[in-house]
């Protein structure tokens, strides 16, 4: 496991390379599992958001050193970005390209629900320079789709992916959820089979998690359903590995599989400790050794920007020790793990070194002369490992 351990080159406290995450906080409805900041689609709120976003882009673009940086990844998430009209999304792309220096090979991802992808909209996205679509299918089982509170039908889910491929997209991710109440390994196998028939370049397979503010969390607190046992949940991942590996979809991160050359470059930024700028309400940033987030309200977001202020709600300047710990915790999500040099650096903290050694002895981590990885047991309890290392 040979890995490079050097940090990105910096000038004036900033790295040359930057990623941008842009949060579009609109949906036609809230799915039962979703905890992201969003509001129901409304024309007036959309206009308020677009005007504020234009100001935010302009403010960042005017900051010293920002124009000198190259943006290599853009990720437009939500919410559902494709509930915006094509003209509105085109304006956002125009503002980004005028405010920032996008590389020629910039990966531009847009999240979409399959039912929002008409032939005309998919063609627009292709012509607008979008290089990657991430489609929130979640399940191909009709009962599970109803239980999850999804908007579209199974037929629309299938049709939306086909439309994207017909428009010329070769880099397509499908989001799928497992661990749903009442879900069986057999129904999960069926969902994976339908997904693989679409020949995606990437699959994101997420275990259902209970987040405060969601309908599922409320129902769980009322005793209306139980969380799936971790050992049973592991059977779903085993089924995924059985079906995906023979088709050259390799697991490169805890929740992500990709064909060779199709790993999500933007998400790799998070796992490798690289910098990214968040735009839009609730968006998070990691820039110049600071981690900060925007206010989670369109109204407050807009008011700050109208006043000429960035809409930042909180900011934390990370010490070098904190940065060393965080990049190990995030980096361990990658199956290739992290370089041994990162561990040696963090191990100067004796308390941290003791925790790390214990995790190796307990077989959550596997250490070699060149790096450290999560074991199969460690992957199953990755959140626990992360908490012990922070």
pLDDT score, position 16: 84
Domain around 367: 319-390
Q: Which two tokens stand for residue 204?
A: 């994101």
Same domain, 246 and 361: no
- Indicate whether 302 belongs to any domain: no
More confident residue, 179 or 8: 179
- Indicate whether 26 belongs to any domain: yes
Same domain, 252 and 362: no
Same domain, 335 and 265: no
Q: What is the mean pLDDT of residues 154-169?
A: 95
- Indicate whether 4 belongs to any domain: no
pLDDT score, position 105: 96
Same domain, 126 and 206: yes
Question: What's the mean per-residue pLDDT of the chain?
Answer: 92
pLDDT in tens, 132-144: 999 999 999 999 9
pLDDT tops 90 at residue 228? no
Same domain, 266 and 342: no
15-41 as b/e: b if 16+ CB within 10 A: bebbbbbbbbbbbeebbbbbebbbbeb
Q: What is the pTM of this model?
A: 0.94
Q: Which stretches of the chain are DSSP H helices? A: 43-61, 86-99, 119-127, 142-148, 154-166, 185-197, 215-221, 230-244, 265-272, 298-306, 320-331, 340-346, 350-361, 376-380, 382-389
* Distance of alpha carbon 266 from alpha carbon 191, whole angstroms: 26
pLDDT tops 70 at residue 176? yes
pLDDT score, position 11: 40
Using the 8-state DSSP alphabet, how is residue 251 labeled? E
If you compute the radius of gyration of the chain from its CA atoms, what whole number of angstroms results? Answer: 21
Same domain, 45 and 130: yes
Q: Which two tokens stand for residue 212?
A: 């405060």
What is the 3-class SS of 207-238, one letter each residue? ECCCCCCCHHHHHHHCCCCCCCCHHHHHHHHH
Here the CATH number for the domain that contains residue 325 is 1.10.10
Same domain, 196 and 262: yes
pLDDT in tens, 328-371: 999 999 999 999 999 999 999 999 999 999 999 999 999 999 99
pLDDT score, position 68: 77
Same domain, 244 and 172: yes
pLDDT in tens, 260-271: 999 999 999 999
Domain total of the chain: 2
Residue appearing with tokens 């910096």: 10
Same domain, 62 and 144: yes
pLDDT score, position 6: 44
Q: How far is CA 313 from CA 37, 44, 66, 281, in A?
A: 14, 24, 21, 10
């Amino acid at each position: 496991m040979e890995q490079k351990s050097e940090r990105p080159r910096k000038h004036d406290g900033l790295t040359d390379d930057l990623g941008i995450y842009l949060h579009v906080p609109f949906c036609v409805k809230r799915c039962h599992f979703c905890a992201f900041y969003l509001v129901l689609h409304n024309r007036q709120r959309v206009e308020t958001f677009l005007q504020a976003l234009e100001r935010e882009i302009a403010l960042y673009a005017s900051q010293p050193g920002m124009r000198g940086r190259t943006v290599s990844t853009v990720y437009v998430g939500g919410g559902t970005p494709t509930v915006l009209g094509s003209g509105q999304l085109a304006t956002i792309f125009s503002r980004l390209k005028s405010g920032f220096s996008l590389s020629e090979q910039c990966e531009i991802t847009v999240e979409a629900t399959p039912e929002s992808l008409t032939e005309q909209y998919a063609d627009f996205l292709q012509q607008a320079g979008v290089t990657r679509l991430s489609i929130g299918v979640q399940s191909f089982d009709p009962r599970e789709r109803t239980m999850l509170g999804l908007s579209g039908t199974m037929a629309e889910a299938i049709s939306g992916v086909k439309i994207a491929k017909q428009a010329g997209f070769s880099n397509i991710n499908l989001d799928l959820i497992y661990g749903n109440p009442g879900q069986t390994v057999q129904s999960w196998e069926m969902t994976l089979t339908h997904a693989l028939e679409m020949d995606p370049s990437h699959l994101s397979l997420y275990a259902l998690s209970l987040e405060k503010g969601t309908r599922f969390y409320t129902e769980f607190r009322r005793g209306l359903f139980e969380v799936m046992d971790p050992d049973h949940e592991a059977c779903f991942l085993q089924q995924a590995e059985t079906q995906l590996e023979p088709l050259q979809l390799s697991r490169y991160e805890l929740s992500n599989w990709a064909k060779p050359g199709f790993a999500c470059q933007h998400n790799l930024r998070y796992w490798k400790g690289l910098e990214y700028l968040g735009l839009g309400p609730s968006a998070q940033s990691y820039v110049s050794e600071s981690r900060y987030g925007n206010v989670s309200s369109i109204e407050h977001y807009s008011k700050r920007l109208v006043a000429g202020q960035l809409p930042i709600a909180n900011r934390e300047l990370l010490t070098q020790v904190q940065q060393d710990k965080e990049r190990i915790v995030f980096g361990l999500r990658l199956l290739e793990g992290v370089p041994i040099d990162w561990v040696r650096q963090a191990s100067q903290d004796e308390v941290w070194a003791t925790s790390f050694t214990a995790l190796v002895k307990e077989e959550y981590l596997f250490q070699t002369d060149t790096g450290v990885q999560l074991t199969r047991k460690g992957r199953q309890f990755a959140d626990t490992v992360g908490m012990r290392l922070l």
